[in-house]
Structure 1
Amino acid sequence: MINVNNNRWFLNILTIFSILFIFYMTILPHSELGIGVSKGFINLNPFLIFKQDLTYSSLVVNDLGNILLFVPFGFLLTMRFPHLKLSKVVLFGCLLSITIECIQLFMANRCTDIDDIILNTFGALVGYLVCVGVRYIIK
């Protein structure tokens, strides 16, 4: 079994990689996924995407993708800092997501969307819960 205390450097690298991957997926265009290829927009109406666009692309790539993108971040943050409370992990996930959305404000082909912040934050929460669940099962 892996001793987390002896492998902090490894968790640090994985956490940094998770953050870099988040930036890679949210800042650079990915035409194969339809990300960053159309004219950008700003959405400040929560859950608007669920009311307007229920296509496969929207549900899988956008919604599920936004959640899954932040699950490793929430998981690794919780692994690295075992005494971190749920509220802190959710706050850090939310702040990282807000940072990304603010950067996207200045990019022509990127969308700034309150729904992304909500979904990303939920992903960090899921990562926290998975980590706590894995710890519980291991003990």
Structure 2
Amino acid sequence: MTEKRSGIVFRIILAVLAVLYFAALFKLLFVKNGIRTDTDVLVFKPFRVLSEYRSGTRSLRSVLINYLGNTCLFLPLGLILPAVFNKLNFWKTVIVGLVIIAASETAQYITKSGYADIDDLLINTLGFVLGALIYFFVLGGRKKTTLSYLLTLVVVIAVSGLSYMFVVIAKPEILPQSMLVQNGKIAGNSIEDYSVKTQIYKMSHGDVFVDKEIAEDKDGNKIEEPPKTYRFADTAVFVIAEDVNGEMKYSVTGIEEMISEVENAEPVFVKLWLDGDGRCSMVMLEKEY
């Protein structure tokens, strides 16, 4: 096989990987198992994660997942773009990458599928630029040879596997199927109309006691409610949600373990989550480790 023909073959393979990469990226950033997070939040504090670690409100594990995960997540993009599009030099690649990353952060805010965070923008950009530097100055990407394409393919696969270790797209199969509100309907209306976040102060087998609730209706109006008790079915499996960089990671645990988590944790929040049809399909506890 000639140099030119082999280069075309590798570019086709990389183009297929690019499609798979963008599909996985879209799934990770915008499609969270049909769950609407309603997290239309803008965070402009640089190095927020490090500040939280220094203040003791975030663990070292969470910091590593945040920074290494986001770096690895966008590193393949810096390799794939110039490999697939021959006319992109280093600086053109950087500009295109910055536009893609900025657009993804903006889209997360607009669609309420995640946080728009300056930390994300900085770390994602770092990962992308690192990928571009590796492609052009380590793998010999400027020469566009068969060897450079082959090395790029190997690195893309390796880094993608590494990023998957840090950024797990969770698919919980067992979730609470239903819940009953003992003290009446939330904010005097149907539960499906609201996305509620409230603090837990006690938990027992089947009961969750919560402090004053802050409910928000479809028009964005906030309504405060007095403390309530939620009762779950005895067979319900509770889910701990860990917020890492605006993304939700799920782990399934039993009632006994969940009670222990609540008793030993700092303030824990419960969220009533709306599915794609606007129904409250599950209740999850959210905390950081």
Report which structure shows greater RCO (CA 8 Å, sep ≥6): 1
- In structure 2, the residue matched to 1:50 is 50
- CA distance in structure 1 between the aligned counterparts of 2:91 and 2:61, rounded to whole angstroms: 31
- In structure 1, the residue matched to 2:140 is 135
Q: Is the 8 A contact 2:39 2:109 kept in 1?
A: no
- CA distance in structure 1 between the aligned counterparts of 2:112 and 2:87, rounded to whole angstroms: 40
Q: Give the alignment's TM-score, normalised by structure 1.
A: 0.76
Which of 72, 78, 83 does residue 79 from structure 1 map onto?
83
Q: Within the alignment, does 1:11 sit opposite 2:14 as a pair?
A: yes
Shift of 1:14: 1.4
Amino acid at match of 2:51: K
Q: Within the alignment, does 1:26 sit opposite 2:66 as a pair?
A: no
- CA distance in structure 2 between the aligned counterparts of 1:27 and 1:94, rounded to whole angstroms: 19
Listed one character per residue, the Cα deviations across residues 38-74 of structure 1 (whole Å, up to 9, x for unaligned) are 9563211222222223523432222111111111111
Q: Which protein has the bigger strand share?
A: 2
RMSD: 2.9
Q: Which moved more, 1:85-94 or 1:102-111?
A: 102-111
Amino acid at match of 1:24: K
Give the percent of matched residue pairs that are identical in Structure 1 and Structure 2.
25
Q: Which protein has the bigger helix share?
A: 1
- In structure 2, the residue matched to 1:33 is none
Which stretches of structure 1, 4 residues or more, deviate above 4 A after TM superposition? Answer: 36-40
- CA distance in structure 1 between the aligned counterparts of 2:8 and 2:109, rounded to whole angstroms: 39
Which structure is larger by alpha-carbon Rg, 1 or 2?
Answer: 2
Aligned length, in residue pairs: 133
- CA distance in structure 1 between the aligned counterparts of 2:32 and 2:67, rounded to whole angstroms: 17
Listed one character per residue, the Cα deviations across residues 70-119 of structure 1 (whole Å, up to 9, x for unaligned) are 11111111222345222222222221111111121134462110111111
Amino acid at match of 2:52: Q
Q: Any stretches of 5+ residues in structure 2 without a counterpart?
A: 142-146, 149-289
Q: Any stretches of 5+ residues in structure 1 without a counterpart?
A: 31-35
Q: Is the 8 A contact 1:89 1:124 kept in 2?
A: no
Shift of 1:8: 2.9
- CA distance in structure 1 between the aligned counterparts of 2:62 and 2:102, rounded to whole angstroms: 20
Q: Is the 8 A contact 1:93 1:120 kept in 2?
A: no
- In structure 2, the residue matched to 1:89 is 93
Which of 127, 130, 133 does residue 126 from structure 1 map onto?
130
Shift of 1:123: 1.1
Q: Is the 8 A contact 2:73 2:124 kept in 1?
A: yes
